[in-house]
Chains A and B, each alone.
Chain A
Amino acid sequence: MRTLSKWRFEMNRRDWLIGSAAVAGSALTVRFQRRKYFRDLRPKRSRIAILHADRYSDKLDELVYDGLRLFNLDVRGKSVLLKPNIVEYIPGKPVNTDAQLIGAAAEAFLRLDAASVTVAEGPGHHRDTDLLVHETGLGDQLTHRKIAFVDLNRDEFIKTKLQANYSGLGQLWLPRTVLTSDFIVSMPKVKTHHWTGVTFSMKNMFGIVPACRYGWPKNVLHWAGIQESVLDICATVRPNFVIADGITAMEGDGPLNGSPKYLNTVLLADDPVAADAHLAEALGFEATQVGHIRQASQFLGNIARNRIWHLT
């Protein structure tokens, strides 16, 4: 018959270890399951429109304008900020949002009576933003259409409390140009990304973080976790709209290496999460396989099909 002391001894050696592991596991589970966002920003329904375009041309002006009209957006008198994805100029590699699409979007918002349209980007590796804007052809578009450009790496910065706590950063210095805009449009180049799986509208918002404060690249955020930082940034500055460049997308080791993938699509959406979920599927992923899309679906936007309306 087992004595009490023997029983205690056995408990200590085996069960204590099992019990401790269970307690530690529960604590970790609670830690990861604890809600890390402060507000539920999901709309009741989200809308997307998939526009067909097989090349970059002047025809994008009408295509994007007509596409925006499907959404009945109220941008009259508002300051619109277009945030494209301008990373690095590599001839033959479709790594950047196409300049012609950016120009077409700017024109369309002006036609919808926006008070102003500004194109703004903070390139992650390249310190010579003027050169990058010139090389990518964006400079010509801006000049031709008389659109202002702001280098977000060298803007005025405002210390901002983050509206989610995935990265643990708590707060970030963010550009005034972004924080004071009425209507923010994320314009990603659709591509796969070595570290985050994909670069779509939410990952594109990483570029608003000023390199002048966080370095070229914004390495502080890499170490805090790219996906976690993306969630915190988008919870704080949620894009109002998405215009994604999937005419020539990129597959492979993005953000810089990869092969063209011709999706022949410009995707418009009023929900960045719905947009990214659709784009993930277009590139052959389950949306929930991408960590930041899966997490964002809990508070930033919708991925459930019954909450997404297709306008085209």
Chain B
Amino acid sequence: MGLLRDVQAEIETGSLSSGGWVSGNGGRAGIETTCYALMALHDRQGPARDDAIDLLLRTQNPDGSWPAFDGDDPEGCWTTALAVIALHFVRSPSALVEKSLLWLLDNDGREGHWFWKWKFRTVDRAVQFNPEKYGWPWFPGTVSWVIPTAFSLIALQQLFPCCRTERVTNRIQLGMEMLRDRACPQGGWNAGNGIVFGSPLKPHIDSTAIALLALTEGKEAVAIQALNWLRQACIDCPSAYSLAWSAIAFSVHQDQAFNHCIAHLRKALSLTDAISNIEILSLAAIAIKAGESNANPFQVAI
């Protein structure tokens, strides 16, 4: 637990006076980083946690979405799903997420439009995918990608554990089908499609882990294949960021690779000179705590 406390203390120290945390070298609070840091500090009492919640509430757009960072243009983006997950996890009583959920439901990948479906089926076939199966884009008006789709699926599943409307049920189903459709032939996920110009793409560790967090309904083949790939990929991975995401996914899938991955993560953190990146520290803290019951913010109730 010593490492976890040290990491949490480091995160608290990095909190901005205006609330939240910067992404990388940024000067303003990044919504994504703030969400991870808030999840990492969910059981800590103190101004850093409270200021982060205030920042999220303050930066929410009038339509319920969130921008990419504090001071950004008031356009919603993929951070909306993350903010919903984070505020749900810390049980913020004042969070106004109904509008956010409507925003998520209204936000389709552009290939969902009939014209683009037609284009991707007939004219633009360089990228192999089924445009009938779409999820969520990084930004409205663009096509679906794996990570924003996975985050949106987690948010919807967490907020509607049961009694889902037909619209919510259909959207979740469609998003899951999109993830299955875009998986790489060898297992796991790249950023978007698994095959481009006829060649299979190499999966990414973080995309694979995040997609696995959204696909937890039973042990389906695509998830089993992805878990197999992820276990192998983690063996030689030196990146604390990718190892943390992997551990979070192994935890949700109760996979035996979790303990090994955490050991590897601890080693990566100790070998890397003074990791100061709050996003990485926060994900590491979430991963280390994920072994504890109900401590994984990305857990979808089954």
Q: Which residues does A use to contact B, with CB under 8 Å? A: 88-90, 125-128, 130-131, 134, 150-151, 153-157, 173, 176-177, 194, 212-217, 219-220, 222-223, 252-253, 256-257
Distance of A176 Cα from B143 Cα, bound (Å) = 28
Main secondary structure of the interface of B (DSSP, over half): loop
Given contacts A128-B204, A130-B241, A131-B238, contact A212 B142 (CB under 8 A): no
Contacts of A194 in B (CB 8 A): 126, 197
Across the interface, which residues of A come within 8 angstroms of B201, CB to CB? 256
Q: Check B69–A223 contact: CB distance below 8 A.
A: no
13 residue pairs from A and B, CB less than 8 Å apart: A126-B204, A128-B242, A134-B239, A154-B25, A156-B22, A212-B32, A215-B77, A216-B191, A219-B138, A220-B138, A220-B139, A253-B196, A256-B196
Cβ-defined contact, A253 with B27, below 8 A: no
Does B147 lie at the interface of the complex (its beta carbon under 8 Å from any beta carbon of A)? yes
Contact with A along B256-280 (1 / 0, CB 8 A): 0000000000000000000000011
The answer to whether A156 touches B26 (Cβ under 8 A) is yes
Complex-state Cα separation, A177 to B25, whole angstroms: 9
Q: For B202, what are the chain A residues with a Cβ–Cβ distance below 8 Å?
A: 88-90
Asked whether A151 and B237 contact (CB < 8 A) given A90-B202, A216-B191, the answer is no
Complex interface bits, B132-149 against A, C-beta within 8 A gives 1, otherwise 0: 000001110111010110
With both chains docked as a complex, state the minimum distance between the C-beta of B156 and any C-beta of chain A, in angstroms: 20
Q: A127-B241, A130-B280, A213-B69 are in contact. List 9 more A-B contacts (CB 8 A).
A: A90-B202, A127-B204, A154-B24, A154-B30, A155-B25, A216-B191, A219-B139, A223-B142, A257-B198
Q: Of B78, B137, B190, which is within 8 A of A125 by CB?
A: B190
Other-chain residue from B24, B148, B199 in contact with A151 (beta carbon distance below 8 A): B24
The CA-CA distance from A53 to B280 in the complex, in Å, is 39
| Distance of A121 Cα from B87 Cα, bound (Å) | 32
Known contacts: A150-B25, A212-B69. The answer to whether A131 contacts B147 by CB under 8 A is no
CA distance A113 to B24 in the complex (A): 28
Count of A-B contacts with CB under 8 A? 113
Nearest 5 CB-CB pairings of A with B? A154-B24, A215-B138, A253-B197, A219-B142, A131-B239
Q: How close is A142's CB to chain B, nearest CB, in angstroms?
A: 13
- Report Cα–Cα, A256/B151, bound state, in Å: 26
Chain A residues lying within 8 Å of B63, measured Cβ to Cβ, are: none
Across the interface, which residues of A come within 8 angstroms of B197, CB to CB? Answer: 194, 252-253, 256-257
Whether B139 pairs with A125 at a CB distance below 8 angstroms is no
- Decide if B68 touches A213 in the complex (CB within 8 Å): yes
**Interface flag for B205 (CB, 8 Å):** yes
Interface members, chain B 69-126 (any A CB < 8 Å)? 69, 72, 77-78, 110, 126
Contact present for A126 and B24 (CB under 8 Å): no
Contacts of A156 in B (CB 8 A): 22, 25-28
Q: Are A128 and B241 in contact (CB under 8 A)?
A: yes
Q: A128-B204, A128-B241, A150-B25 are in contact. Are A212 and B141 (CB under 8 A)?
A: no
- Complex: how many Å from CA A256 to CA B195? 11
Whether a CB of chain A sits under 8 angstroms from the CB of B23 is yes
Return B192 CB to nearest CB of chain A, in Å. Answer: 8
* A216 contacts B26, C-beta separation under 8 Å: no
In this complex, the member of B110, B138, B145, B198 whose beta carbon has the largest number of chain A beta carbons within 10 angstroms is B138
* Distance in angstroms between the alpha carbons of A219 and B140 in the assembled complex: 10
Contact A215 B142 (CB under 8 A): yes
Query: Which chain B positions have C-beta within 8 A of A177?
Result: 25
Specify which of B30, B138, B148, B191 is in contact with A126 (CB 8 Å cutoff).
B191
Q: Provide the B202-214 mask, 1 if CB < 8 A to any CB of A, else 0.
A: 1011110000000
Docked CA distance A89–B190 (Å):
12
Contact of A128 among B27, B138, B142, B239 (CB under 8 A): B239
Closest to A171 in B: B73
Partner of A215, one of B23, B78, B199, B279: B78
Contact in complex: B206, A128 (CB < 8 Å): yes
Complex: chain B residue closest to A211, CB-CB: B138
Within the complex, which residue of B23, B68, B69, B126 is in contact with A253, where a contact is CB–CB below 8 Å?
A: B126
Known: A88-B202, A127-B204, A155-B25. A215 touches B139 (CB 8 A): yes
Q: Which residues of B contact A134 (CB under 8 A)?
A: 238-239
> Which chain B residue lies CB-closest to A124?
B191
Bound-state Cα–Cα, A173 to B68, Å: 11
Question: Beta-carbon contacts of B30-49 to A below 8 Å, as 1s and 0s?
Answer: 10100000000000000000
* Interface contact A215-B69, CB-CB below 8 Å: no
Q: From residue B145, how far is it (CB to closest CB) to chain A in Å?
A: 7
User: Roughly how many angstroms separate A223 CA and B147 CA in the complex, as a whole number?
Assistant: 19
CB distance from A185 to the nearest CB of B (A): 20
Docked complex Cα distance between A88 and B202 (Å): 9
Whether A154 and B26, one on each chain, are in contact in the complex, defined by CB atoms closer than 8 angstroms, is: yes
Give CA–CA (A213, B126) in the complex, Å: 27
Pick from A131, A154, A223: contact of B237, CB below 8 A: A131
Q: Mark B1-34, 1 if CB is under 8 A from A, else 0.
A: 0000000000000000000001111111010100
